[in-house]
Amino acid sequence: MVAYRIPGPLEGLITEDIDEGAMCRTASPRPGPLGESIDYIDKNTISQSSSFRSETLGSTLDDSYKPAIANRVPNVSETISTSDMKAVNELSLSNRGLTLLKDIEQLRLQPYDDQTGKEITAWTVGATIGYGHLIKRTEWDTYKDGITVSAASILFEQDLSPFVNAVRSNIKVKLKPQQFDALVMLAFNIGAGANGFSGSSVVKLVNDPEVETNYKNLEAAWKAWSKSQGKVMKGLENRRACEWNVYSQGIYKKW
């Protein structure tokens, strides 16, 4: 994983709402199409079986659902019942979310510089190991000789904790599990603080879709976090699109 960290427009220096882009980490981009959702299924296909399984949804549509389907399967986001929505303090990052985030971060068993991606033998700002763990100077002796796969997984879950808590503490409305996953993934990449997730227009719009921001909608606010060093980065664009697919459609697929 190659990371980019530079100061962005911080709160108070421009406007309160222009806070996106202060800090982002990104894995090296891999070209390829984004996951696609199933948008149309002929009703005859469904009638041939007592159930229809959508890989995208990860759930089964049984006979009781068929009358509502009519001639097509609705957009994926429409098929997830509001009964799935829960208070954020009842939600945690799902196994699917954890697996996808690991895939995005990529595992490195030797210390490396997150600016260059090259392995290092001495501590430097941006020293990183495992699944994107930033090594503190005081931790260098612990990680200078590398890390095991199992230790990297444990460390990663520990690193995720403040970002899970950031979503729980900043989001005031009920969420679907997929939405919670996507918000944790975003927070992990842009940072949890006021110049990152907690002060972002994303949080404002999730809590109140009618709130006034500099963005036309939540998707635009989300995807605004795509710059590093003042430039739009393809890796960050891919990452934001991936997260948005999780949030809006429940598609857990890397680009």
Q: How far is CA 174 from CA 76, 89, 171, in A?
A: 19, 9, 8
Domain limits of the chain? 3-36+79-249, 38-74
* H-assigned helices in 80-146: 95-105, 140-143
The 3-state DSSP class for residue 25 equals strand
pLDDT band at residue 228 under the 50/70/90 scheme: confident
pLDDT digits (tens, 9 = 90+) for 89-102: 999 999 999 999 99
DSSP state of 63: G
Is the per-residue pLDDT at 81 higher than 70? no
Q: State the pLDDT at residue 225.
A: 97
Count of alpha carbons within 13 angstroms of residue 166, beta-carbon side:
27
The tokens describing 221, both together, are 């606010």
Topology of the domain covering 3-36+79-249: Lysozyme (1.10.530)
Of residues 21 and 68, more confidence is placed in: 21
Region of residue 2 (phi > 0: left; psi between -120 and 50: alpha; otherwise: beta):
beta
Tokens of 95: 């196994």
CA terminus-to-terminus distance, the chain: 15
Q: Are 210 and 46 in contact (CB under 8 A)?
A: no
Give this prediction's pTM: 0.69
Q: What percent of the chain has pLDDT over 90?
A: 64
Compute the average pLDDT of residues 5-31. 42
- State the pLDDT at residue 130: 98
Q: Residue 26: pLDDT above 90?
A: no
Q: What is the mean pLDDT of the chain?
A: 78
